[in-house]
Amino acid sequence: MKMIFLMLATLTMTSANAALPALKVVPRIVGGVEVDAKTDASFIVSIGGGCAGSIIDAKWILTAAHCKPLFTRAVTGGSTSLYASDRVKLKVLKSYVHPEYSSSKSSNDFALLELATPIDFENTKLSKIEMADSNLETSGGLEEGTVATVLGWGVTRENGSQPSVMRMVDVPLVSRERANAREAYNGAINESMIAAGYDQGGKDSCQGDSGGPLIVKDEVSKKQTLIGVVSFGEGCARAKKYGIYSNVAYGQEWIQKVINK
Ligand code: ARG
């Protein structure tokens, strides 16, 4: 494999890039696996065109504000394969973007989609996921090193193509302090965000995973909790450039206000 890569690299080397100091190694995959049957992904919907969302209530989908250009009249769910014939289509009535969303800072990257009709959880393969409550962070529930899982149909490497079957990867949570280190995000990570990933990179979410879930699973009860929404990252799976997620515990106040209106 390495040989083929080297050969290809040599073949495609033109006079323009021949002057590059070293062959740049592009992260080959973002380290995930296809979602297996043991994993409950029935709360994840595709917003189409490169974003996903999570069902948090019979009438509500939580996603990222930066996905707004992709919001259409429907989202689909009920299968990990985007091309399954039995995908359920859910009509969207209205979208709500967090009033303090900042596209330049990517802070408060939250949006809610209100469905036209409540989901019938009994008669569909869909479910909802419990959200992290607003105390989760202060109560120590989001401690550094806690292993979380991110799922989605995003590209499997930087500038790669999107898979049709959902993938997932485990990433440990990273403290805000470490995420704000100079060689990481240099102070750009505020309390509306949480970071997850490895110092050495290799495993991450990537383009197309946006709006989708970062979850933790209780080992005993197997209960899944939504703690983050895929928001941004510098490239994908690069060393120290952890994946950044909207902090669901922090967004809770706004989310509750909108869905209980
Ligand atoms: N903004 C991206 C999207 O629109 C998500 C990128 C996540 N990047 C990362 N390195 N974790 O799909």
Task: Catalogue all structural domains in the chain, each as residue range(s) with its CATH number.
Answer: 40-260 (2.40.10.10)
Q: Is the dihedral of CA 14, 20, 23, 28 positive or negative?
A: negative
Q: What is the DSSP letter of 156?
A: S
Q: Quick check: is 98 catalytic?
A: no
Ligand 1 pocket member 209 (CB < 6 A): yes
Q: In 10 A of CB 233, how many CB atoms?
A: 24
Nearest residue CA, atom 2 of ligand 1?
A: 207
Query: Could you read off the pLDDT of 153-163 as tens digits, one per residue?
Result: 999 998 888 89
pLDDT value of position 137: 75
Strand 60-63 vs strand 111-115: parallel, antiparallel, or unpaired? antiparallel
Query: Could you read off the pLDDT of 214-233 as tens digits, one per residue?
Result: 999 988 898 999 999 999 99
Distance in Å, CA 232 to ligand 1 centroid: 4
Distance in Å, CA 231 to ligand 1 centroid: 6
Ligand 1 pocket member 230 (CB < 6 A): yes
pLDDT value of position 212: 97
Strand 111-115 vs strand 130-131: parallel, antiparallel, or unpaired? unpaired
- Residues contacting 187, CB < 8 A, separation 6+: 180
Q: Which two tokens stand for residue 99?
A: 């009033």
Written as one letter, the residue type at 116 is A
Residue ranges in the chain modelled with pLDDT below 70: 1-29
- Residues contacting 254, CB < 8 A, separation 6+: 98, 99, 108, 110
Ligand 1 pocket member 204 (CB < 6 A): yes
Ligand 1 pocket member 228 (CB < 6 A): no
Q: Quick check: is 109 catalytic?
A: yes
Q: How many CA atoms lie within 13 A of 256 on its CB side?
A: 11
Query: How would you class 103 by CB atoms within 10 Å of its CB: exposed for 0-12, middle for 13-18, buried for 19 or more?
Result: exposed
Ligand 1 pocket member 171 (CB < 6 A): no
Active-site entry in 109, 192, 209, 231 = 109
- Cα separation, 170 vs 215, in Å, equals 9
Ligand 1 pocket member 90 (CB < 6 A): no
Active-site entry in 66, 79, 192, 246 = 66
Strand 44-46 vs strand 147-152: parallel, antiparallel, or unpaired? unpaired
Active-site entry in 42, 106, 205, 210 = 210
pLDDT value of position 28: 39
Q: Quick check: is 139 catalytic?
A: no
Nearest residue CA, atom 9 of ligand 1?
A: 233
pLDDT value of position 12: 35
